[in-house]
Amino acid sequence: KYADSPTVFEDPQDDLLQNNISFLKWNCNDHKSEILTDMFVMYITMRMRQYSYSKNIEAKQLNKTKKKLSKLVTS
């Protein structure tokens, strides 16, 4: 959703805080900031890995197709 955005770290955080406030309630305010920070970092890192993995697969398939086509062309 935000993968091509220049503010890839801020957009998911803003979206999560605006739309899903109900699950972000803790009794312990001392650890709330630390836990939320860790959650955001892990979530965004995971999503970036998934996105880059899918883009790499697409690039490999495209390169494979280009390689096959280049063998058909005689120069």
Q: Which of 35, 43, 44 is nearest to 9 (CA)?
A: 44
In a domain, 4, yes or no: no
Res. 58 pLDDT band, cuts 50 70 90: very high
Q: What would the DSSP string read from start to end of 4-67?
A: TSTTTTHHHHHHHHHH-GGG---S-HHHHHHHHHHHHHHHHHHHHHHHHHHHHHHHHHHHHHHH
Domain assignment present for residue 34? The answer is yes
Asked if residue 21 belongs to a domain, the reply is no
* pLDDT range class, residue 21, cuts 50, 70, 90: low
| Global pTM value | 0.59
* pLDDT of the residue at 69: 87
In a domain, 12, yes or no: no
Average pLDDT, the chain: 80
Instruction: Evaluate whether residue 53 is within a structural domain.
Output: yes
User: Domain containing 47: what range?
Assistant: 30-67
Residue 17 has pLDDT above 80, yes or no: no
| Residue 51 domain-assigned (yes or no) | yes
CA distance 5 to 53: 17
Look at the chain and report how many structural domains it folds into.
Answer: 1
